[in-house]
Amino acid sequence: MDDPVLLTGASGRVAEAILADLGDEYDWRLLDRYPPEVDVPGETVVADVTDREAVREAVEGVGAVIHLAGDPRPEAPWESVLTNNIDGTQVVFEAAVDAGVERVAFASSNHAVGAFETDERTPDLYRAHDDFRLDGTELPRPGNLYGVSKAAGETLGRYYHDAHGLSVVCVRIGNLTKGHPPEDYERGQAMWLSYRDCAHLFERCLEAEYGYEVVYGISDNDRKYYSIERARDVLGYDPRDNSADHAE
């Protein structure tokens, strides 16, 4: 991609993973409500994602958007997720359409489907012998209000694809950690996403051809209850890491 890429929520952990591997690969425009505290590639825009005029200016001339900004707390109250996650996501999609942006990669979350983890399914759900899989075709089933906001973001993406032809991929991100996965936490191993696999997945979101997709963002773990086959087939995702390599 020759045009700049706008990345919102540029000071967060997902952005750190993306920029660690892809910082030199694209012309970046980094938007966050706070100025960067470390050296970052490209242009920086200090603005809130709910500021319509600032976001409209930020998307001008870009070829794609990676939208990560929002309140990331699973326990975030409704007032915050409504403003920062739902309203902010609508602002980004609307601005992208108005500016003629080709594609948006939206950072959804495992919390959008957290309620599938019922007492009847766990803990076997997190173990390698269990064959239960979520593949992105199921309806959202949030386990908290943060998950509700991510499900709403996926629905907004569906609307802007259908109504305006915007290419949208929603990545239900698992347990992103900078180092090894937690050795004594089965759920964390099952949904582990390494930094380099995270960067690779979002690179494929920028390069592949798609219409509207919901995919899971985890590494190729032996333990898994999210399928990564759709990400492989549609995006060309080819993860290199496996939480089993770091398990006790």
Of 26, 34, 126, 146, which one is the catalytic site residue? 146
- Res 108 pLDDT > 90: yes
pLDDT tens column, 212-223 = 999 999 999 999
Domain count, the chain: 1
Measured CA to CA, the distance from residue 12 to residue 15 in angstroms comes to 5
Measured CA to CA, the distance from residue 53 to residue 5 in angstroms comes to 18
The angle formed by the CA atoms of residues 135, 89 and 111, to the nearest 5 degrees, is 40
Confidence at 48, pLDDT banded by 50, 70, 90: very high
- Mean pLDDT check: name the lowest of 37-41, 53-57, 61-65, 161-165: 37-41
Q: Which residue range is the domain that position 186 belongs to? A: 5-246
What CATH number does residue 233 fall under? 3.40.50.720
Q: Is 146 a catalytic residue?
A: yes
What does pTM read for this prediction?
0.96
Cα separations in angstroms, 85 against 26, 95, 192, 206: 26, 15, 23, 22
Confidence at 248, pLDDT banded by 50, 70, 90: low
Maximum Cα interatomic distance, the chain, rounded to a whole number of Å: 51
pLDDT value at residue 40: 87
pLDDT tens column, 130-185 = 999 999 999 999 999 999 999 999 999 999 999 999 999 999 999 999 988 877 78
State the average pLDDT over residues 196-206.
Answer: 98
- The chain-wide mean pLDDT, for the chain, equals 95
Cα separations in angstroms, 37 against 95, 176, 177, 192: 27, 21, 20, 27
Provide CB contacts within 8 A for 103, sequence distance 6+. 63, 64, 65, 166, 167, 168, 169, 205, 206, 210
